[in-house]
Amino acid sequence: EEAERTERIEAALAELDDDVVVLGHNYQRREIVEHADFIGDSYQLSKEAAEADAEYVVFGGVTFMAESADIITDDDQTVILPSMEASCPMAGMAEALQVDSAWAEITAAAPDADIVPITYMNSYADLKAFCASHGGLVCTSSNAHRAFEYAFERGDKVLFLPDKHLGENTAYRLGMEDEIAKWDPWDPDGKDVEEVAESDIILWDGYCQVHERFRETHIEEIRTDHPDAQVVVHPECRREVVEAADVVGSTSTICETVANADPGETWAIGTEIHLTNHLQRWHPEVDVLALCGDACMDCNAMRQIDPNYLTWVLEELVEGRERNVIEVAPEEKELAEVALDRMLEI
């Protein structure tokens, strides 16, 4: 069945030729990444989308990535997401309306402060537009520290959304760990408005359920069972996990770490399980382990991109039918692009 599907995908790609570019995030299934023209992290894929000439960008990733591709590409290019169900739960944790009302509360509590909002790429276009309209920008896990520096050159406080762990890990990286306050939008008693008004870094209380599962005990177990192992984790992991790891970085940093390892080295990977599996396949000379063994999760949103759906959207394009088009509303597009461009410039 897979061989037949591969043939159909290859035939459709050959037919579409330069009219289509397929982008694949590092967390996509093997059957998707092996058909991708570019595989990478969120930042790399947004750059590839920006540089793509093809009429169609077929995105192996999740909704917020496809939205960003639509914002960055030209108006005559069309972005297609093989499944409309591929929505990152973390991106859904900071809805623009909800952020708008929090912003009103926070700015009222700190009337003299100049607050710059930064949203992680893992957010929807309306939140990116919100950030731009308040002088803020987008970042990914590979440039969050640069985005914070940008913000502190222009203001005196940062509101970071939606991932509290990436925000906290970035604050530590910048030596600003004593400046953190958290903002829990779901718990009316869960925030201390005065503390927030005094803090320089305000973190929205969102998180990734895939990365929150990693615990310090997993690293301790790896170090006991594999004394030679080194550990690389994604910055969406909890602070104590990042602290106990040897290397922390975006999915492309994780890929580079294993690619640059000497044969025979052992690396335990603290991120989504598909990437760990890819690394085992791509680098058989390195001993690649999953940081939490069988408890490691795949990302349900990423998994929605079934290879049968990829086949379907490509074959439909061959027939001249555009399916699953991701189109950001024009009123959000312009401002969201400002927020993305600020990131691409830093």
Annotation: binding site: 25, 42, 88, 120-122, 141, 208, 234-236, 251, 299
Look at residues 115, 132, 125, 140 and name the one whose alpha carbon lies nearest to residue 47. Answer: 140
| Interaction residues for ligand SF4, span 72-131 (CB under 6 A) | 88-90, 122
> Cis omega (within 30 of 0) on the bond before 162?
yes
Q: Is 212 exposed, middle or buried (0-12, 13-18, 19+ CB in 10 A)?
A: middle
Which residue stretch of 136-144, 187-195, 282-290, 297-305 sits at the interface with ligand SF4 (rule: CB under 6 A)?
297-305
Nearer to ligand 13P, 42 or 311 (CB): 42
Give the residue with the Cβ less far from ligand 13P, 78 or 257.
Answer: 257
42 binds ligand 13P (CB under 6 A): yes
Identify the CA nearest to 82 among candidates 57, 64, 48, 58: 58
Q: Which does 143 bind (CB under 5 to 8 A by kind): ligand SF4, ligand 13P, none?
A: none
Instruction: Based on the shown chain and the rule CB under 6 A, indicate whether residue 276 belongs to the binding site for ligand 13P.
Output: no
13 touching ligand SF4, by CB under 6 A: no
Residue 251 touches which of ligand SF4, ligand 13P, none (Cβ within 5-8 Å per kind): ligand 13P
Cα–Cα distance for residue pair 130/136, rounded to 1 Å: 8
Among 299, 314, 339, 343, indicate the residue that binds ligand SF4 (CB under 6 A).
299
**Pair 64, 121: CB distance under 8 Å:** yes
Q: From the CB of 282, what's the least distance to ligand 13P, in Å? A: 16
- Given the structure tokens 């003299």, which residue do they identify? 112
The binder of 250, among ligand 13P, ligand SF4, none, by C-beta within 5 to 8 A per type, is ligand 13P
- The reply on whether position 250 binds ligand SF4 by CB under 6 A is no
Q: Report what 199 binds from ligand SF4, ligand 13P, none; CB cut-off 5-8 Å by kind.
A: none
Binding site per annotation, positions for [4Fe-4S] cluster: 88, 208, 299
CA-to-CA dists, residue 120 to 89, 99, 138, 272, angstroms: 13, 14, 6, 18
Residues with Cβ within 8 Å of residue 89, at least 6 apart in sequence: 208, 209, 300, 301
Annotated binding-site members for iminosuccinate: 25, 42, 120-122, 141, 234-236, 251
Q: Name which of 63, 137, 127, 122 is nearest 97 in CA terms.
A: 127
* Per-residue CA distances from 290 to 169, 191, 214, 220, 273 (Å): 22, 36, 11, 13, 7
Query: CA 197 to CA 177: how far, in whole Å?
Result: 16
Choose among ligand SF4, ligand 13P, none what residue 301 binds, the Cβ cut-off being 5 to 8 Å by kind. Answer: ligand SF4
Q: Rule CB under 6 A: say whether 302 interacts with ligand SF4.
A: yes
E runs forming strands in 184-323: 201-204, 230-233, 247-248, 266-270, 287-290
b/e burial code for range 67-76 (CB count within 10 A of at least 16 → b): bbbbbbbeee
- Minimum gap (Å) between residue 114 Cβ and ligand SF4: 29
Query: Tokens standing for 16?
Result: 């579409």
Nearer to ligand 13P, 126 or 236 (CB): 236
What is the smallest separation between the CB atom of 26 and ligand 13P, expressed in angstroms?
A: 6
Contact stretch for ligand 13P (CB under 6 A) within 38-46, 72-80, 107-115, 239-247: 38-46
The yes or no reply on residue 83 touching ligand 13P (CB under 6 A) is no
Q: In a 10 Å sphere around its CB, with 0-12 CB exposed, 13-18 middle and 19+ buried, how is residue 109 labelled?
A: middle
CB of 124 to ligand SF4, least distance (A): 12
The residue within the footprint of ligand 13P, chosen from 251, 257, 311, 324 (CB under 6 A), is: 251
State the sign of the Cα–Cα–Cα–Cα dihedral 291, 296, 302, 303.
Answer: positive
Find out whether 62 and 87 touch, Cβ atoms under 8 Å: yes
Residues that bind ligand SF4 (CB under 6 A): 62, 88-90, 122, 208, 210, 236, 272, 299, 301-302
Residues that bind ligand 13P (CB under 6 A): 26, 41-43, 122, 140-141, 208, 234, 236, 250-251
